Chains A and B, each alone.
Chain A
């Protein structure tokens, strides 16, 4: 018996991407811009049953057969299905391995197995802190305030780097300039007067790696200054 060959073919079957072919007509319709306005609050109803709707749908998709386009739209919809509830993801988050979930669904999954936090799709290690929320246009309107789960983790946003110009030394809290001058040689003049363009980037927010780096650098410079002063006094 050729065990290995059989295994290979069967496992490829098991782990292949499941093809989702369920039909959800009402959501496909919602996708078509304009139609939902006409039908107002009843846009969820399967409008395919009315002649008007069919004509509208056809008019909305010029130059291609209606059926093909419908299938494509359905495929598009499926791309945004939560991997847990299989519905269109709401309060969508993406794991670092790239899999899409509703935040309430993923949260519940992580709560169910606190000591084995793996991606429900690919079993990669995941954590609450390391998911990225997705903000689509108009997504705030769909938010359900009844959610009992903790709010989605916020997106992390860092300030863009300011390229060009003198980078300047950020002294932790920002805005604090320090200069040293010895005798008649005005170092202070150079450092305080030659900051063209005031292109100092604002201080990095607390908690980011950049903040830590800047903090460290400022300490290093203060110690260099202290050693320099001691050397001056000794000399």
Chain B
């Protein structure tokens, strides 16, 4: 790994673990290996959003050309958000692509992702299904996102109605996550989700 990349990540790592956001438990960074090429990030779901109370884990891969090129970041925790793929966790955020600037750091990237959770951009989606729901049925989107936060990110809001519908499908031999995706995609319409799963 290029020396400048490792040197900088080292400095940033020290900086971020001393930052006030870490003290407030809003963000967190951990090392995955010793040569600073891969890290594990964590962000708290921002307040007054469906993600509130959840903890979202991120995979951060530092390229050799860092900081001249952005780090590769992906959600490991499954999340229901217009700009994040519900399948792969890939993120659509300009600063992680062409709007990256070399003065940005791990800390600012994590804070930007937290801001992204609070302010989705449905006109520039990563997950078309989620974006469509976000635009057409805000309330359904919020409930779905809150449910995903509860299931995958340790959020506080349990939705018994959704759980019941999922159990109906799992009783039919459908895998838990697959059932959740189908129901989420069809606004929790059990009939249409079943149709899609068995077609």
Contact = CB atoms under 8 A, between A and B. Distances in A.
Given A6-B48, A6-B119, A116-B98, A20 B15 contact: yes
A18 B112 CA distance: 13
A184 interface: no
Contacts of B187: none
A1 B19 contact: no
A83 B11 contact: no
Given A19-B20, A85-B8, A112-B69, A14 B115 contact: yes
Nearest to A20: B15
Interface of B: 4, 7-8, 11-12, 14-15, 18-21, 46, 48-49, 65, 67-69, 98-99, 101-105, 107-108, 111-112, 114-115, 118-119, 142
Nearest to A86: B11
B140 to A, nearest CB: 14
Given A18-B15, A121-B103, A10 B7 contact: no
A130 B43 CA distance: 39
Contacts of B21: 13
A97 B68 CA distance: 19
Interface size class of A (residues with CB under 8 A): 20 to 34
Greatest chain A CB density within 10 A among B15, B69, B99 is at B15
B118 A84 contact: no
A99 B103 CA distance: 10
A3 interface: yes
Given A84-B102, A84-B103, 10 more contacts: A6-B118, A10-B114, A10-B115, A10-B118, A13-B21, A83-B102, A85-B7, A109-B68, A112-B68, A120-B101
B19 to A, nearest CB: 7
Given A6-B46, A123-B101, A112 B65 contact: yes
A21 interface: yes
Nearest to A4: B119
Interface string A1-35: 11100110011011000111111000000000000
Interface in A67-116: 83-87, 99, 105, 108-109, 112, 116
A14 B46 contact: no
Nearest to B69: A112
26 contacts: A1-B142, A2-B48, A6-B118, A6-B119, A7-B119, A10-B111, A10-B115, A11-B115, A13-B115, A19-B20, A21-B18, A22-B14, A83-B102, A85-B7, A85-B67, A86-B8, A87-B7, A99-B103, A105-B102, A109-B68, A109-B102, A112-B65, A120-B103, A121-B103, A123-B99, A123-B101
A84 B98 CA distance: 17
Contact of A10 (B15, B105, B119): B119
Greatest chain B CB density within 10 A among A1, A2, A7, A22 is at A22
A86 B115 contact: no
A118 interface: yes
A108 B65 CA distance: 10
A84 B48 contact: no
Contacts of A18: 15, 19, 105, 107-108
A93 B36 CA distance: 28
Greatest chain A CB density within 10 A among B11, B19, B69 is at B11
Contacts of B11: 22, 86-87
Contacts of A118: 101
Across the A-B interface, the 5 shortest Cβ-Cβ residue pairs: A120-B102, A10-B115, A120-B103, A22-B14, A112-B68
Contacts of B48: 1-2, 6
A108 B99 CA distance: 17
